[in-house]
Amino acid sequence: MIPEKQQRHILETMLRIRAFEHKALQLFEQNKLRGSCHLCVGQEAIAAVICELLDDEDYITCSHRGHGYCIAKGGELKPAMAELMGKETGYCKGRGGSMHIVNMAKGHLGANAIVGGGIPIAVGGALACKLKNNGHVAVAFFGDGASNQGTFHESLNLAGVWKLPVVFVCENNGFGISVPFCQSTSVKDVSVRASGYDMPGVTVDGNDPEAVYAAAAQALERAKAGLGPTLIECKTYRWYGHWIGDPEITRDKAVTKEWKEKCPINRLKMQMIKTGNLSDKEFSEMEKAAKQEADDAAEFSLNSPEPDPATVMDDVFADRVPAII
Partner 1 sequence: MSVKKYSEAIRDVIAEEMRRDASVFVMGEDVADQGGIFGCTKGLLEQFGPERIRNTPISEAGFVGAGVGAASCGMRPIVELMYMDFTYVAMDQILNQAAKIRNMFGGKVSLPLVIRGQQGVGRGNAGQHSQSVESIFMHIPGLKVAMPSSPADAAGLLRSAIRMNDPVMFFEHKALYATAGEVPDDPEFMIPFGKAHVLVEGRDVTVVCNHLYVQKALNVRAKLEKEGIHMEVIDPRTLVPLDVTTVVESVKKTGRLVVVHEAHKIGGWGAELASQVQELAFRYLDAPVLRLGAKQCTLPFNLGLENAVVPQEADIEAAVKQVCYR
Ligand X SMILES: Cc1ncc(C[n+]2csc(CCOP(=O)(O)OP(=O)(O)O)c2C)c(N)n1
Residues of this chain that interact with ligand X (CB under 6 A) are 63-65, 113-115, 143-146, 173, 175-177, 242
229, 168 in Cβ contact below 8 A? yes
Q: Which does 97 bind (CB under 5 to 8 A by kind): Mg ion, partner 1, ligand X, none?
A: partner 1
Closest CA to 174 of 42, 286, 7: 42
Q: Which does 70 bind (CB under 5 to 8 A by kind): a copy of itself, partner 1, ligand X, none?
A: none
Per rule CB under 8 A, is residue 30 in the interface with partner 1?
no
Map residue 320 onto helix, strand or coil: coil
Q: Which does 173 bind (CB under 5 to 8 A by kind): partner 1, a copy of itself, Mg ion, none?
A: Mg ion
Backbone angles phi, psi at 61, to 5 degrees: -125, 155
- Strands (E) in the chain, as ranges, are 59-62, 108-111, 138-143, 166-172, 175-176, 179-180, 201-205, 230-235
34, 97 in Cβ contact below 8 A? no
Give the integer Cα–Cα distance in Å for 95 and 41. Answer: 25
For every residue of 262-294, DSSP letters joined together read T-HHHHHHHHHHHTTS--HHHHHHHHHHHHHHH
Per rule CB under 8 A, is residue 230 in the interface with a copy of itself?
no
Q: How would you class 249 by CB atoms within 10 Å of its CB: exposed for 0-12, middle for 13-18, buried for 19 or more? A: exposed
174 to 213: interface string for partner 1, x by CB under 8 A: --xxxx---xxx----------------------------
Residue 207 or 230: which CB sits closer to partner 1? 230
Give the integer Cα–Cα distance in Å for 185 and 189. Answer: 9
Stretch that binds partner 1, among 5-13, 126-134, 206-214, 257-265 (CB under 8 A): 126-134
Q: Which of 161, 182, 187, 270 binds partner 1 (CB under 8 A)?
A: 161
Residue 3 or 180: which CB sits closer to Mg ion? 180
Q: Which of 56, 154, 246, 295 binds a copy of itself (CB under 8 A)?
A: 154
Give the integer Cα–Cα distance in Å for 246 and 199. Answer: 36
Residues 162-201 that bind Mg ion (CB under 5 A): 173
Residue 177 or 192: which CB sits closer to ligand X? 177
| HSE of 73, CA atoms in CB hemisphere, 13 A | 28
Map residue 240 onto helix, strand or coil: coil
Residues 61-80 that bind partner 1 (CB under 8 A): 61
Please state whether beta strands 179-180 and 175-176 pair in parallel, antiparallel, or not at all (unpaired).
Answer: antiparallel
Q: Which does 119 bind (CB under 5 to 8 A by kind): partner 1, a copy of itself, ligand X, none?
A: partner 1
Give the integer Cα–Cα distance in Å for 289 and 20. Answer: 12
Smallest distance from partner 1 to CB 322, Å: 5
Per rule CB under 8 A, is residue 286 in the interface with partner 1?
no
Q: Which of 149, 178, 218, 277 binds a copy of itself (CB under 8 A)?
A: 149
Q: Which of 104, 182, 255, 270 binds partner 1 (CB under 8 A)?
A: 104
Q: Which of 6, 26, 76, 113 binds partner 1 (CB under 8 A)?
A: 113
Q: Which of 8, 95, 153, 224 binds a copy of itself (CB under 8 A)?
A: 153
Residues 135-154 that bind Mg ion (CB under 5 A): 143-145
DSSP 132: H
Contacting residues toward Mg ion, per CB under 5 A: 143-145, 173
